[in-house]
Amino acid sequence: MSDLLRSIEVYLAHLRTRRGLAFNTQESYRLDLHDFADYARDHQVESVADLNRQLLRAYLAREREELSRAAATLARRISSLRGWIKYLSREPQWRLASAVSLLGFGRRLKRSRTLPRALSTDQMSALLALAKKKTDDARGRGRLAAMRDWAALEILYSSGLRISELLSLLPGAVHWDAGSLRIFGKGARERLVPIGGQALTALREYLTERSRQWPHLSRKGDGVIFSNKQGRPLSRVLMESRLRLLGRAALGTRVTPHQLRHSFATHLLLAGLDLRHLQEMLGHKSLEATQIYTALTPSNLKKVYERTHPRA
């Protein structure tokens, strides 16, 4: 293993053990840094001491050309590199040349933040109605899968969870009487989020059907809510594919878990929810991440203003 690749592996281990990052974030760092390591090796750079601004600029130019329509991916890769370089600059074991100049790499990159593509309330109603209808029509094992999809949809829209948070949800995290969920999100940050009555109903019916068809999971009394027959968590790929099928059947368009999170946030904000309360519900570390939802149409903002301002 080259010196450069070894430094990347040490940094990735640091992220796993010290930073408490979500698995998907860690995986993004790994893919980005390994991509750069491959590029550096192709240009005969396999030592940290040989890192230089010219190599980074050349890599950035290639990425800009190949990812011309994926500015978010380009920005993420630069962020991954800058985090790694900053870590190396603090560790004396790595002979990092020109650390100060390298730390500024990619800082001037400008990326416009695209607005979330939220579904309308009518679209959400149609999507949820179809999911519920499929539970009524299904039989046997198909009924359990349909009830799981319905419960997942209701929870994602009712509480604004990330897909990773949904799939790691434990039975003990559901506070049935209080109508809330205890969530451990990014960075192991804990938060309580409300869950609506219809979502609780869907979840209760799904768990009842799961206990009927898979009683061994109920006897064990542990494991995640959204699991397979063996009690292991469902894969993100499976859940996303199920939502895509429902979206195309109900709306004729692709629906993603993150789009449901966007819809949750946008609909609450349009109804007049305070931005800081929304930040808490979404589990954002900073208010800046939540402020993207304020870029709404003037007509919607006008309606909220007229309904909430005392002298409108």
User: Which residue among the candidates 82, 236, 258, 267 is catalytic per the annotation?
Assistant: 258
Asked about 262 being catalytic, the answer comes back as no
Under 8 Å between Cβ of 253 and 243: no
Asked about 229 being catalytic, the answer comes back as no
Asked about 293 being catalytic, the answer comes back as yes
Asked about 186 being catalytic, the answer comes back as yes
Asked about 261 being catalytic, the answer comes back as yes
User: Which residue among the candidates 82, 117, 175, 186 is catalytic per the annotation?
Assistant: 186
User: Which residue among the candidates 77, 162, 210, 262 is catalytic per the annotation?
Assistant: 162
User: Which residue among the candidates 11, 157, 206, 293 is catalytic per the annotation?
Assistant: 293
Asked about 284 being catalytic, the answer comes back as yes
Provide the annotated active-site residues: 162, 186, 258, 261, 284, 293
